[in-house]
Copies of this chain bind each other. A is one copy, B any other.
Amino acid sequence: MLMSADSSDSAKTSVICSTVSASMLAPPAPEQPSTTAPSILGVTGRSHLENALKLPPNTSVSAYYQHNSKLGMGQNFNPEFRSLVAPVTDLDTVPPTGVTMASSSNSPNSSVKLPHSGVIFVSKSSAVSTTDGPTVVVQQQQSQQQMPQHFESLPHHHPQQEHQSQQQQQQHHLQHHPHPHVMYPHGYPQANLHHPGGIAVVPADSRPQTPEYIKSYPVMDTTVASSVKGEPELNIEFDGTTVLCRVCGDKASGFHYGVHSCEGCKGFFRRSIQQKIQYRPCTKNQQCSILRINRNRCQYCRLKKCIAVGMSRDAVRFGRVPKREKARILAAMQQSTQNRGQQRALATELDDQPRLLAAVLRAHLETCEFTKEKVSAMRQRARDCPSYSMPTLLTISTLLIDRQRLRRRRSHISGPPTSVDMHRSAKQYQLAS
C-alpha cells in the first residue's frame, strides 16, 4: 500500500507515520484470523514544500463548498440486533497518528471514472507524482490497524462484537480473505490521515480509501489528488462546481474531521464518536456503497466509509485555511475541472450517436481493408482463384452494442436521480476570497 505523507495543512507535523494501534483496535475475531500490523514494504523519501508554487489566487475556498439541503435516504437498521459496536472515538486516549492507505493497484496517472457522479478520478500520481520525491509503501497485514484509533481507545468499545471486525482491506489479502463478511468496521483502510510529521504516508491513489480490494465501494469521482513535490495529498473530489463529500459524494460543506465532507456525514461521524454508538452489523457484506441517496441505509458501512476516507477527531483543522493550502486546493480543483473537461469531451463524443457514427464510419473507410471497393477488387481476384473465403466484417452495430453496454454500466454507477434531488439546496464548500 502506498502512503503519502500528508501534510494536511496545519496540523501536527512531527508525527511520523504511526501505525494504528492494531492490538487495541482489532479484537481478535473468533473465527477469523487475527489482525496483523501492516508492514512497510518500501519507503521513498520525497521532497516537498517547493510545492509552494505560486497559486496565490485570493479566491476563497469556501466559494467552492455549496449548501445542500438534502435528503437523506434510506434507513435500515434492524432493531433486533446491534451487535456492532460503533467505533466510538475517544481520542483523548488515542494516539494522534493516522496512516493513510492507498491501493497499490491504482496505477499512477490513471484517470478513472468513478461511481459517484461518473466523474474522473485523477490519481495523485497522475497529477503530481512526476517530480515527486519518495513515496512510502506500506504493506498492511490487516486493515484494522489502519482503523482510526478511537475505535480501540474508546472505552465503550464492545469486544463481543469485534470478532466480526476482521477485515482484509488489503488487496493482497483480499483474496485470502477468510471471511467474506466482516462484521467489524475497523478493518477499513484508513485514508487521508495526514501524517503530522514531515514524513507522511500518502496513498498512492487520491482515493486510497477505496482500494482495489474494496472495489465494491463506490468511489467518489472527480477526486483529484494533488501532491506537488512533497506536498501532502489533497484528495479533493470536485465536480467542476463544488467540492464533494468523500464519504457519500454529496456536496461538501467543509473540511470536517480531516475530510471534505457534507453536513450529513459530518453530523453522522460526530454522533458516532460522541456517543459510544454501536451500530448494528451490516446485514450485507460490509461493503455497502455509500452514496447520498443511500447513505442512511447502513450505519455500519457508513461509519466504515467515514473512517476509510480518513475522518478522525485527530484530523480536525480549525481556523482559517492557510494561503498555501488554499492555493493547492484551488489548483487541485482546476486540474479536476480540466480532467473533467477532457472526460466530458470524450463522453460527449461517445454519447453523440451521429458524431460517433460519422467518426467510426470515416475511420472505417479510411482504414478498413475490406471496404466495398476493396472487397470487390478482392473478390474479383478471388474469383480468378480456385478457392477463396469471404472475410468477416466487423459492423458498426457491434460497436454500438458495446457502447450501450458501457452506458448502462455508467449510469448504474452514478445512480438514478431521485425526486429528493430536486429539493436539495444546501450549503456547499466555499473558499472565501
Contact = CB atoms under 8 A, between A and B. Distances in A.
B239 A197 contact: yes
Interface string A351-374: 101000000000000000000000
Most buried by B among A11, A72, A241: A11
Contacts of A94: 294, 415
B423 A15 contact: no
Interface in A58-103: 66-76, 89, 91-100
A317 interface: yes
Contacts of A288: 92-93
Interface stretch (A21-29, A126-134, A169-177): A21-29
A240 B14 contact: yes
Interface string A405-426: 0011111111111111111111
Given A351-B40, A419-B315, A292 B49 contact: no
A272 interface: no
A80 to B, nearest CB: 14
A177 B1 CA distance: 46
Contacts of A289: 92-93, 95-96
Given A92-B288, A96-B293, A417-B196, A410 B73 contact: no
Given A241-B198, A294-B92, A314-B293, A417 B99 contact: yes
Contact of A418 (B98, B293, B320, B404): B98
Contact of A325 (B69, B116, B238, B337): B69
Interface string A306-322: 00001011111111111
A337 B401 CA distance: 51
Contacts of A337: 14
A400 to B, nearest CB: 9
Nearest to A89: B74
Nearest to A195: B417
Residue among A191, A242, A417 with max Cβ neighbours from chain B (10 Å): A417
Interface stretch (A104-112, A159-167, A339-347, A384-392): A339-347
Interface of A: 6, 8-25, 36-37, 39-40, 43, 48-49, 51, 66-76, 89, 91-100, 115-119, 148-149, 190-198, 200-202, 218, 222, 232-234, 238-242, 244, 249-251, 255, 258-259, 264, 284, 288-289, 291-294, 296-298, 310, 312-325, 337, 340, 343-344, 347, 351, 353, 404, 407-426, 428
